[in-house]
Amino acid sequence: MEYGYARVSSKEQHEDRQMIALADCGVEVKNIYVDKQSGKDFNRPQYKRLLKKIKPGDTIFIKSIDRLGRNYEEIMDHWRVITKVRQVYIVVLDMPLLDTREKERDLTGIFIADLVLQILSYVAQTEREFNRQRQAEGIAAARARGVRLGRPPLPRPETLEGLCRAYHNNKITSHAAAVQLGICARTFRVWAEEYADAY
């Protein structure tokens, strides 16, 4: 059997380009498994379903190695398990060297393919790490410019101080105070602590 695996990093992204490439290889739509989540690890529902489905002699098509994952060590581990232990072929469409169906490869060809796999897996992981670093730097730069990130703070009601005093004097529970203010009890407790520091 021939299967396809596609992955995008979030529900907002579209897998159309991968689906077209897999269909062009003759993979039936019903045999294509799609995950919409990060490639940081292999804990993905559709990928797990695919692993349960495959049998020796089957073939898995993927568009590029980073669609399989972005963790160098895990890519190498899963590649070995699929191809060596499960005896299933993998074809990476963007990299013809990574086609384990090739029967006529000599030792040099196998060595080159292994090197290419290691390099591409390493690049996939470093790209993910660079993206996280760039994101962190962007957030830090925005904060330095005074940009406030996240949800805007809730306005403090006029009755808050009196309720905080009542709470600290054990005259009202945090839940009852939160109900009066129309907020959650956790938020009230945070505000109450801030007022306690000001007393």
The residues annotated with a catalytic role in the active site are 9
**37 in helix, strand or coil?**
coil
User: Distance between CA atoms of 121 and 167, rounded to whole angstroms?
Assistant: 56
Enclosing H/E stretch for 5 = strand 2-8
How distant, in Å, are the alpha carbons of 22, 40, 46, 91, 136 from that of 4?
Answer: 6, 20, 11, 9, 34
Beta bridge partners of 36: 8
CB atoms under 10 Å from CB of 164, counted, come to 23
How many Cα atoms within 13 Å fall on the side-chain side of residue 27? 25
**168 in helix, strand or coil?**
helix
How many Cα atoms within 13 Å fall on the side-chain side of residue 119? 9
Close Cβ partners of 143 (under 8 Å, ≥ 6 residues apart): 149
